[in-house]
């Protein structure tokens, strides 16, 4: 989600300091075969961005619970359900076969784990909201 922010900052830096060594990308070789391009502004900006967002996240009292909820909601469909269904369709696994039953069982088991994790995260958010009132500025 942050790629557009990174691109915007890089574009602004290129306009503000055209031809600067800070903006110019350099090819860096690792060993004899591997090479990649590095831009000092890109490295510095992304590092600062990660540090600031991590600090802000640590200041929020129930950030971990919210991240846990998002992870629980995204785990099953993105990591299990869609890949399993694509595998079944791509390999043409016959419905009702042993492999199909095992894959569906795996998917159902992971769904149960994901629902339990989501319930735990919701309970944690509710507990955190009892201790902190995020909308009360004078409290």
Interval 47-100: pLDDT, tens: 999 998 888 777 777 778 888 888 889 999 999 999 999 999 999 999 999 999
Task: Report the b/e string of 113-133 with b at 16+ CB within 10 A.
Answer: ebeebbeebeebbeebeeeee
Q: Return the closest-CA partner of residue 49 out of 87, 111, 7, 79.
A: 7
pLDDT the model gives residue 67: 84
Q: What is the pLDDT of residues 28-49, one digit of tens each?
A: 888 777 788 888 888 888 899 9
What letter does residue 78 receive in the DSSP assignment? Answer: I
């Amino acid at each position: 989600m942050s790629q557009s922010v990174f691109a915007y900052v890089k574009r602004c830096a290129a306009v503000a300091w055209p031809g600067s060594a800070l903006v110019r990308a350099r090819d860096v070789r690792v060993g004899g075969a591997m090479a990649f391009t590095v831009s000092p502004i890109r490295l510095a900006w992304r590092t600062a961005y990660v540090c600031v967002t991590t600090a802000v996240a640590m200041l929020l009292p129930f950030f971990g619970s919210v991240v846990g909820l998002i992870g629980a909601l995204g785990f099953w469909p993105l990591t299990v359900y869609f890949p399993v269904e694509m595998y079944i369709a791509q390999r043409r696994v016959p419905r009702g076969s042993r492999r199909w039953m095992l894959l569906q069982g795996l998917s159902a088991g992971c769904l149960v784990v994901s629902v339990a994790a989501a319930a735990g995260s919701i309970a944690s958010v509710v507990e955190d909201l009892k201790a902190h009132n995020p909308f009360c500025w004078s409290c």
